[in-house]
Structure 1
Amino acid sequence: MDIIPELAWAVGKVIREAREASGMTQGQLAGFSGLSESYISLLEHGHKKLTVNGLVQIGRVLHVTPAELMRRIDVEMESGPQPSTKKVGRPRKQDKTDE
C-alpha cells in the first residue's frame, strides 16, 4: 500500500480547523474524546496517523460526521499544503548599526 504524503498534513489541518471553530483547546478535545492530548497534537502537526476510531471519536465531540471530516480532508489534499499565515516564535531583535 502506497503512503499518501499530503494525507497527514490534510488530516491535521482539518482537525485543527474544526477544533478551533468549536472553540476548544487540544486538551479539551482530548478530554472529551478519550484520546490523549499528545495524540491530538501529533495529529494536528501531521506526525501521527488518524485511526478510524479516532476519526469517529473526534467527530462526535466536534459534532461533525466522520464522512464530513473525510470530505474536508479530501478537499485539503486536492489543494495541497499552503504556507502558514501565522507568525510563530518571538520576533528577532533588530541589529542596531551605526550609520
Structure 2
Amino acid sequence: MQILPGLNTAIAKTVRNVRMKSGLSQEQFADFAGLSRVYIAQLETGERGASLNALILIARSVRMTGSELVMLIEEELKNFSR
C-alpha cells in the first residue's frame, strides 16, 4: 500500500495543534480519547500513522467530528506539498 508523502507529518502537526488549542497535556488528551499517551506522542512526532478509528476518537475527545479533523489534516497536507 502506498502512503501519501507527508501524511504522517500532516497528522502529527494537526493532532498536536488540536491538543495544544484544547489546553490538554498528552496524558489528558490520551485519556479523553481512550488512547495511550505513548501512541499520542508517536502521532505527534510523525513516528506513527493513525487509523481512522484513532482519528475519530481524537476528534470526539475535543468535540470535533472525524470529518472536521480530516479536513484539517488535508489542509496541512496541502501545505506540505507546496
**TM-score scaled by structure 2?**
0.93
Equivalent position of 1:41 in the other structure: 41
Partner amino acid, structure 2, of 1:34: G
Structure with bigger helix share is 2
CA displacement at 1:5 relative to structure 2:
2.3
Q: Decide which structure has the larger Cα Rg and report it.
A: 1
Which consecutive segments of 4 or more residues in structure 1 shift more than 4 A? none
Q: CA RMSD in A?
A: 1.1
Number of the residue aligned with 2:21: 21
In structure 2, what is the Cα distance between the partners aligned to 1:32 and 1:46? Answer: 21
Partner of 1:3: 3
Quote the offset at 1:3 in angstroms.
Answer: 1.4
- What TM-score do you get using the length of structure 1 for normalisation? 0.78
**Percent identity, aligned pairs only?**
38
Number of aligned residue pairs: give it: 81
Q: Which runs of 5+ in 1 are unaligned?
A: 82-99
The amino acid of 2:4's aligned partner reads: I
Higher RCO structure (Cα 8 Å, ≥6 apart) = 2
